[in-house]
Amino acid sequence: MEGAAQRLESLRKQIRKLQAAPRTYLAVLKTGVAAFDSWMPGGGLPMGQVVELSGEAASGRTSIALRGIAAATREKRLAAYVDGPGELYPPVAAGMGVDLERLLIVRPKAPRQLVWTAVQLARSGAFACIVLDLTHTGLQLSLVESKKLSDAAFQGGSCTLLLAASRSQASSARVRLEVTASDPQTLRLEALRSSQGRGRQILIPVAALLPGEAGWPLFSTHSERTEEPPEIKRIKLVWERDGGGIDRNRPGRDAALPSLRGTVGI
């Protein structure tokens, strides 16, 4: 009887343990790009904060955001992409390791609904990573909206990434990064605001960020080409003479051949 009671108690303890820890703690989203993760203050994209990524249209911001989403879905969390311009290409997201079944894509019709949607998603706490893409929308966050987004991210504990075409005039994002495609092979990231101060820079190879063939190097068209083909170096062959004459240097050709009479029986 006692044994049964003890067994029951141990089972109850196991149930309590299972119920008490339904989730694993996640502090940062590691993008998988070693250079970027080690450069970021916490070792990746921070949870519960807004990270602003600004830069030109093809500077690499979206790829960084997709790497963050892939990290979230790898941890079996949900992610959302509030796609203002409606330009996200899901096949590329899948190529970066994003589980498309866990990625919610929201494309509001009116630009003014973008921030509201992102705030709702961030505040809910149901999504680990939320991307608000304001590129090509002509929208710039006001300080109030930015503050609202930061509060929602903090409340929901989600990593909120803000993609903007240019540096916003007023932003309450804790981390602000500017991305520039400095040359065909590298991206330059500059911290406009972070816990480690501003002005820090890092160069990341494009191949580390873009998936598959998209990361392969381009062929430069910028260098000046000459119309004439480059000169081919000719190799001069020199025979060293050792005084042995032609018989020594070219054996088998000019030397006297042995008689075959003995072998053929003539």
Partner 1 sequence: MRVLFLHLPRFPIQRRVAEMPSLAGKPIALSQETRGHRQVAFASTSALTAGVRPGMTIAAATALVPSLREFSFQLDAERKALVSLGEGLLGIAPAFQLAAPDGLWLDASAAPLCQGEEGLCRRALEIADSFGYRGKAVVASQLFTARALAREGAVRSQVIGTSESAKALSVLPLACLDSSPAAVEAIKSLGLSTLGEVASLPTGAMVARMGLEGLRIHRLCRGEDDAPLVPAPITPVFEEQIDLDWPAESVEPLLFALKTTLDRLGARLCSRRKAVVKLAICFRLSSAREQKVELVLAQPSSRPPLLLDLARHRIADLTFAAPVGGIGIKVEECCEDRAHQQVLGDAPEGDAVLDVVLSKISSALGPQSLFAAELDPFHRPERAYHPKPFRPPPSDRGLLRGTAEQQRAGDPDPNQLERPSRFFERPALLQMELGAQGRVVAARLSGKRRKVLAMAGPERLCGEWWEENPYDREYYRVHFEGLGQVWIFRDQRDGKFYLQGFFD
Point out which residues bind partner 1 (CB under 8 A).
Answer: 15, 18-19, 22-23, 56-63, 66, 70, 73-74, 76, 78, 85-109, 113, 116-117, 120-121, 123-126, 135, 181, 183-184, 206, 210-214, 216-222
Contact 131, 82 (CB under 8 A): yes
Cβ at position 57, least distance to partner 1 in Å? 5
Cβ at position 137, least distance to partner 1 in Å? 13
163 versus 175: smaller Cβ distance to partner 1: 163
Cβ at position 250, least distance to partner 1 in Å? 50
Cβ at position 121, least distance to partner 1 in Å? 6
41 versus 99: smaller Cβ distance to partner 1: 99
Cβ at position 236, least distance to partner 1 in Å? 36
213 versus 240: smaller Cβ distance to partner 1: 213
Exposed e or buried b for every residue in 190-217, given b needs 16+ CB within 10 A? bbbebeeeeeeebebebebbbbeeeeee
57 versus 143: smaller Cβ distance to partner 1: 57
41 versus 181: smaller Cβ distance to partner 1: 181
Cβ at position 113, least distance to partner 1 in Å? 6
DSSP category for residue 85? S
**Chain-centre distance of CA 11, in angstroms?**
45
Checking DSSP bridges between strand 129-133 and strand 159-164, what pairing results, if any? parallel
Instruction: Provide φ and ψ at 225, rounded to 5°.
Output: -100, 145
Q: How many CB atoms lie within 10 A of CB 9?
A: 10
Contact 186, 217 (CB under 8 A): no
What contacts 219, CB < 8 A, 6 or more positions away?
A: none
218 versus 237: smaller Cβ distance to partner 1: 218
DSSP category for residue 153? H
122 versus 141: smaller Cβ distance to partner 1: 122
Cβ at position 13, least distance to partner 1 in Å? 13
> Token digits for 160?
């909120």
Contact 193, 211 (CB under 8 A): no
- Pick from 141, 146, 28: which is nearest to 84 by CA? 141
